[in-house]
Amino acid sequence: MRGNSYGSRKGSLAGGFVFPARERDKSMASVSTSQSKNTKQCPQCKMEVPKGAKKCPHCQSDLRSWFARHYLLTTLGVIFLIILVESAIGGGSNVSDTSNSPGSEKVEQPQEEAVKVSAEKLSSDYEANGVAADQKYKDKLVEITGTIDNIGTDILETPYITFETGNLVKSVQCMFKREDSPRLAQLSEGIQITVQGRVSSDLLNILVRDCNF
């Protein structure tokens, strides 16, 4: 009976020593697993920090992602990407619509026909009624025929010619490009010439711009 009692106590001691140790290991492993779920490793100092931490409490490193740390650049990049995609989609749809539409061959625009008028007529029309003359001539291509009164350049070195109109106050002044100066240099006052351009304004003179002959 004493031997059995001793063996029983020994088994109880063994059981009391061995089995709680296993339970303790399991508990520690469980705690470690739980901690790993709630923590992460700092990439700089390799210490464990809370998962939601934005800054390492050990080395003060910024733990946010690159996009979070560069918010402005990220936003601009996203906006640029959206614009790029929309542009590509829009361009593709335009090409598709053009290629699939019937009669998609290039159609030449009809050439604008110039309004033919003499310098004297143009001047007298503006003298009689400037509003009506604007409706008839302003911003339109005109073909003016008349006698050269003067050849010169303005304060910006832009060459021009004026026509005789019989009106001492209001003349017709045709403006040319600077590269036309050599051709204008071959003209002389008193000769008749035909010029094309666009009537732009009626101030002291009736200005005709983008002229050629």
Confidence band for 35, pLDDT divided at 50, 70 and 90: low
- How much is the pTM? 0.47
pLDDT confidence of residue 116: 92
pLDDT confidence of residue 13: 44
Cα(9)–Cα(1) distance, rounded to whole angstroms? Answer: 12
Counting residues of the chain whose pLDDT is more than 70, the rounded percentage is 69
Confidence band for 16, pLDDT divided at 50, 70 and 90: very low
What's the rounded mean pLDDT across residues 77-86? 79
Q: Which of 5-19, 74-88, 99-113 has the highest mean pLDDT?
A: 74-88
pLDDT score of 5 more than 50: no
Confidence band for 43, pLDDT divided at 50, 70 and 90: confident
CATH for 115-212 (3.60.40.10, 3.40.718.10, 2.40.50.140, 3.30.1280.10): 2.40.50.140
Weakest-pLDDT range from 34-38, 74-78, 197-201: 34-38
- Radius of gyration in angstroms for the set of CA atoms belonging to the chain, rounded to a whole number: 46
- Identity at 170, one-letter amino acid code: K
Which pair of structure tokens corresponds to residue 44? Answer: 């700089």
- Identity at 49, one-letter amino acid code: V
User: How far is the CA of 84 from the CAs of 74, 78, 91, 139, 164, in angstroms?
Assistant: 15, 10, 10, 38, 58
List the domain boundaries for the chain. 37-89, 115-212
Cα(181)–Cα(154) distance, rounded to whole angstroms? Answer: 12
